[in-house]
Structure 1
Amino acid sequence: MRNLLIFSVVIFVLLALTVIGDLVPHERSRWALIDSLITGKGFEVDQHKAGLDVAEFDGHYYSVFSPGLSLLLTPYIFLARILFGSGFSEILAVRLLSIAVTTFSAIIIYKLLLRFSSRRSAMISTMLIIYATPIYAFSETIFSHIYVMYFLVLSLYNLLNLEKISSRMIVSISLAMTFLIEYQSIITFSPIYIYCILRRRRLRDIIYLIPLLIVLGFHLYYNLTFFKHPLNFPEKFWIGYPSRPAKPSYMFSTPPHLGLYMILFSPENGLFIISPILLFAILGFKHLWRRNRWLTILILSLWLISLLLFSTWHLPWGGSSFGSRFLIPLIPTLSIPFSFIIDNKLKDSNPLRIFPLLIITFYSIATSTLGAITSPDLLFNCVMYSLIVGGIRCLPLAWIKPNPIISIAYWITITATISCIIAYLSFWKKQY
């Protein structure tokens, strides 16, 4: 318990050191909806506050996103506004909440990995999943992916113990929450429902679909109320970019092979370009297959469906963002096969075989830290330029004017700190 507490504090503090210190609210459409809900204007938003992610219907403007996350955050932001006032204080409050959610996700990932590997491997794998991937850059934003990630890892953790009623309820509620936050979750996480059905095969377990049906009813009622038809989702009425108005036929217009390249290997957003450390997880699937074939098939199915869906989306990588943000909820699923590789490497005393992994690890941490201290709204090939010209945007140094030397020094310091902690865990001989 003591080690877990220390580990949790370390995760939170390192995330807090890169919390963005400016007044820019990411996902303006969600902020606009929250502001409307707090001020009693209902679900209609101010077009100018909401930015581009707006749906227009009968002369009224609405957030193009599911209202779920905004509804969940409204009481918290309302309280922050009462206590500290509006403006930066409420933005900072949400960023700290997102960091806390990311920390809780890390704890669940760690506890999940303890079922497959040693404590040391679980700690190292968890830290790499958080700090050596785009999760780091989005860990303190209002983007929905971090919150969906939390509920996904919570459901995965409880999937391994479906014989308990409490575990089945947690899985049921967690999946319903992902659907409340993001519409596409009902498609991308459908393998989990199939997994539960095939593992249980009991008709009475249909009761666990009730939370999902409640959320589905909410979405259909929301659509009927504001868009005059239960199947008229806000995305259908997205106003689009000024130069390219939205059309339903345009939504899935990217050739799949091009979309996969953009998501995984492009220098602008490619997941494996930013975090090549994740490639080692592919090697770990053969070990996971020997331990748990059902779980292996489930994880691969989750990735297959998401890659097929988002590779054809009109913005496969998620617009101007650091990495393929649509894949962020799924990245923790790779921690399980990845932990097998870490476990094997920790037992390997040959430094020549470990050295390539160390180099790739350091590179992945350094690139992910770049996104964390600049902005999650920047493409990967722009973050270094932004760091040098615009400086870092972290709260601890927000009072300093843009200075390339200080900015680069802070980047190196954060990268070195995380790398040293992981190296300490890797080479400390005490058995966990």
Structure 2
Amino acid sequence: MNHLKRLSLLTFILSLILLFASIKGDANSFSRNSSFTDASTGSPFESSSSSSRYVLTQALFKSRSFLLTRDQAKFASPDVAEHNGKYFTLFMPGISFMGLPFYILGSIVGLPQLGTFSLNFWLAIINVFLVAALAKRLGASWSWSLLGGFLFLFGSNAWAYALTYSQHHLAVFATISLLLISTHSLTVKNNLLFGIIFGIALLADFPNPIILSPIAVYQLSRHFHFHRNKINWSWLFMGAGVLPFLVIFAYYNLKTTGSPLLSAQFVGRSKEFNVATSVPAETKSVPEVRSPGLHLPLKSRSLIRGFSILIFSDERGWIYYSPMVLVGIIGLVLTLKKNSSNPVPNLIFAAICFNLLIYAMFGDPWGGWSFGPRYLIPATAMISVFIPVFMQKYGKNVLVMSGFLVACVLSIRLATLAALTTAHVPPKQGAEALPVPIPHTPKLNSNFLAANKSSSLIYNLSFKNQMPANTYYKLVFALALITFVTLTGFAVNSKRV
């Protein structure tokens, strides 16, 4: 085994340990895993984005149905829809479908919740190596590329969301996979795989096809050579890959809303369950007079405010919560200035812009109660690709390396804090509107630790009586830093392979 394979294995093992150390839960959730429904802060079901998807997986297994019982709907609220007396999740069903095998495996050992949530655990590990593979494709050495993949997961809120039952890591998997496929030859196999992954992404979340559209358009355009009057008809297999997922989606809609063309998102939230939502207070204070016609959630007037919230603010700012992305942004800009014949940097730039534009115009750019810009996790994966590309060229510069180390340490610190406490942080307006105001920044996570509380299952089962929660946090943070420093050391001293 050569040193690069050993380094890959080391990255895999240490990533597993860090994720395992931060799995959410406590003695109650572990002992009552099949019937656990606690939605308190720090629990696996602290967010309805997880619970709403989970109850659909549960219904598929227990009832062989897409519909929820009233108790399941209440547990999933506010992210539940009701139509003609039928309850169903407000989200796209893709994650719930993919989690079913994991639910079944977990049920065999009496741990269905843990089993189901492990879907994102494994997707996150895969994404580390997908990001590394794409960085390698852009010219970085494998050592630097592995560091880029590690930083994506453990230097951003991607870590906290690897512990949930949400769509973000599947979106990353689809985005990076399609970018990699677009660098390969146009074969039937590659086109079919492209279509299948695109279809899975569509079934997981509505915005995914929009974010992925620059990549899809590019891949499709490669088949047409009008100047030579030549068409590569293998593009049809892209459509063949997507088609089954469109059929599944139409059938799912038919069974839930009664129409193959009407999805839960256009039915809207059920008002039956009196549960406070995480929508900021200012957005709920003024009744909206709705005009006739189709109402889309994207509003161009919200663009500047949404952009500020997603990039700079202490609520959800991309740079605030992951300063390391600045290194990736610089790397992307310098790569684009090269005017290289490689289309991937341009595709990444376009996909990041689409990701930002969609959610900056979204009615809730905060992503409800969340940690950092969860909507930008795919963008974080893409920008992380350029960290190794930039550092390989400029990492010998003392000032560059110093800035890089500071940015990464700050990023890893915040990522560890969220992973071991909660990803359920309110927007500023929501925090101030509460009867007892709470912080809308990582201060809430620090307060969680100060109260000697952690969301870690391992801590709560094995170490709660042996050490304070803050000590456990410091140990996990130290391991993440040791891994980062080790990978950086290998990268700096590695050859360009």
SS of equivalent residue, structure 1 residue 78: helix
CA distance in 2, matches of 1:182, 1:29: 14
Aligned to 2:367: 318
Shift, 1:56, TM fit = 1.0
Aligned pair 1:356/2:403, yes or no?
A: yes
Structure 2 residue corresponding to 1:99, chosen from 121, 130, 145 = 121
CA gap 1:208/1:255 in 2 versus in 1, 3 angstroms: same
Residues 183/404 of structure 1: CA separation in 2 closer, same or farther (3 Å cut)? farther
Secondary structure at the aligned position of 2:22 is classed as coil
Q: Say whether residues 1:230 and 2:293 are aligned partners.
A: no
2:15 is aligned to: 11
> Helix, strand or coil: the match of 2:451?
helix
Secondary structure in 2 matching 1:399? helix
Kindly provide the CA deviation profile for residues 23-44 of structure 1, in whole angstroms up to 9, marking residues without a partner as x: 3443111111112111215111
TM-score, length-scaled by structure 2: 0.79
- 2:90 is aligned to 64
Superposed, 1:190-201 pairs within 5 Å as 190-201=213-224
Q: 1:242-391 residue pairs with structure 2 within 5 A? A: 249=295, 251-252=297-298, 255-289=302-336, 290=338, 291-348=340-397, 350=398, 352-379=399-426, 380-381=441-442, 382-389=444-451, 391=453
Query: Matched residues in 1 for 2:63 and 2:400: separation?
Result: 61
Letter matched to residue 297 of structure 1: N
Secondary structure at the residue paired with 1:62? strand
Shift of 1:250: 7.7
Measure how far apart 1:292 and its partner are.
Answer: 4.6
Counterpart for residue 122 of structure 1: 145
Gap regions ≥5 residues in structure 2: 30-42, 225-230, 277-283, 427-440
Post-superposition offset of 1:110:
1.7
Comparing both structures, which one devotes a greater share of its residues to helix?
1
Deviation (angstroms), 1:277: 0.8
- Whole-angstrom CA distance in 1 between matches of 2:454 and 2:341: 44
The answer for unaligned runs of 5 or more in structure 1 is: none
CA distance in 1, matches of 2:109, 2:222: 49
Contact 1:389-1:402 at 8 Å conserved across structures: no
CA distance 1:299–1:430, shift in 2 (3 Å): closer
- 2:80–2:269 CA contact under 8 A, matched in 1: yes
1:77 aligns with 2:111: no
- Letter of the aligned partner of 1:121 in structure 2? W
Give how far 1:402 is off.
7.1
What one-letter code is carried by the residue in structure 2 that aligns with 1:323? G
CA shift, 1:400, in A, is: 6.8
Match of 2:53 among 16, 25, 30: 30
Aligned-residue CA RMSD (Å) = 2.5
Per mean C-alpha deviation after superposition, the further-off stretch among 268-277 and 211-220 is 211-220
CA–CA distance in structure 2, aligned partners of residues 221 and 99 of structure 1: 29
What is the deviation of 1:390?
A: 5.3
Counterparts of 1:240 and 1:341 in 2: how far apart (Å)? 48
Is residue 271 of structure 2 the alignment partner of residue 212 of structure 1? no
The alpha-carbon deviation at position 203 of structure 1 amounts to 5.0
Distance in 1, matches of 2:307 and 2:263, equals 26
- SS for the counterpart of 1:55 is strand
Q: Is residue 414 from structure 1 mapped to residue 476 from structure 2 by the alignment? A: yes
Instruction: Give 2:160's match in structure 1, choosing from 114, 118, 137.
Output: 137
CA contact 1:30–1:70 (8 Å) conserved in 2: yes
- What's 2:280 paired with? none
Is the CA contact (8 Å cut-off) linking 1:125 and 1:339 kept in structure 2? yes
Corresponding pairs, count: 426
Deviation of 1:64 after TM superposition, in Å, equals 0.5
The structural deviation recorded for 1:2 is 3.7
Q: What's the counterpart of residue 431 of structure 1?
A: 494
The AA in structure 1 aligned to 2:454 is: I
How much has 1:102 moved relative to structure 2? 0.9
